[in-house]
Amino acid sequence: MQHPHLVPPSTGQPLPGASYALPPQYIAAPQSYPYRIGQPKCYVQQAPQPQAYFRQCITRAELGEIQRGFGNAIRSLELAGDRQFSKINLNMQQLADQLDAHTRQQATATSSTVHRLEQEVHRLYGRISAMESSSVLQGQQIRVLELDRGSFRTQLLSAREEIECLSKSLEAQEERVAMLARQMARSGRKSDPRPTR
Q: What is the 3-state secondary structure (H, E, C) of the chain?
A: CCCCCCECCCCCCCCCCCCCCCCCCCEECCCCCCCCCCCCCEEEEECCCCCCEEEEECCHHHHHHHHHHHHHHHHHHHHHHHHHHHHHHHHHHHHHHHHHHHHHHHHHHHHHHHHHHHHHHHHHHHHHHHHHHHHHHHHHHHHHHHHHHHHHHHHHHHHHHHHHHHHHHHHHHHHHHHHHHHHHHHHHHHCCCCCCC
- φ/ψ of 17, rounded to 5, equals 65, 30
* Residue-wise pLDDT tens digits, 7-54: 444 444 444 554 444 444 444 444 444 444 444 444 444 444 444 444
User: What per-residue confidence (pLDDT) applies to 194?
Assistant: 57
Q: What is the pLDDT of residue 21?
A: 44
pLDDT given for residue 49 in this prediction: 45
Calpha distance 45→56 (Å, rounded): 8
- Total number of domains in the chain: 1
List pLDDT tens digits, range 126-155: 888 888 888 888 888 888 888 888 888 888
Cα 179 to Cα 121: distance, rounded to the nearest angstrom: 85
Q: Is residue 13 a part of any domain in this protein?
A: yes
What is the tens place of the pLDDT at every residue in 185-195? 877 766 555 55
* Strand order, beta sheet including 27-28: 27-28, 42-46, 53-57
Whether 44 is in a domain gets the answer: yes
pLDDT tens across 89-134, in order? 888 888 888 888 888 888 888 888 888 999 988 888 888 888 888 8
Confidence of residue 196 (pLDDT cuts 50, 70, 90): low
In a domain, 45, yes or no: yes
Residue at 111 is within a domain: no
Please check whether residue 15 is in contact with residue 2, taking contact to mean a CB–CB distance below 8 angstroms: yes
Q: Is residue 39 part of a domain?
A: yes
Q: How far apart, in Å, are the Cα atoms of 42 and each of 5, 14, 18, 35, 36?
A: 9, 15, 14, 11, 11
> Which carries the bigger pLDDT value, residue 15 or residue 84?
84
CB 28 within 8 A of CB 9: no
Q: What is the pLDDT of residue 22?
A: 44
The Cα diameter of the chain in Å comes to: 208
Query: Domain for residue 159, yes or no?
Result: no
**Do residues 18 and 3 touch, judged by C-beta distance below 8 A?**
yes
pLDDT at residue 193, rounded to an integer: 54
Residue at 91 is within a domain: no
pLDDT value, residue 5:
45
Mean local confidence (pLDDT), 60-66 = 77
Does residue 90 belong to any structural domain of this protein?
no
pLDDT of residue 8: 45
Q: Which structural domain, as residue segments, surrounds residue 10?
A: 1-58
Question: What pLDDT, on a 0 to 100 scale, did the predictor assign at position 192?
Answer: 55
For the ranges 57-71, 151-165, 167-181, the lowest mean pLDDT is seen at 57-71
In the chain, pLDDT over 90 holds for what percent of residues? 0
- At residue 138, what is the residue type? Q
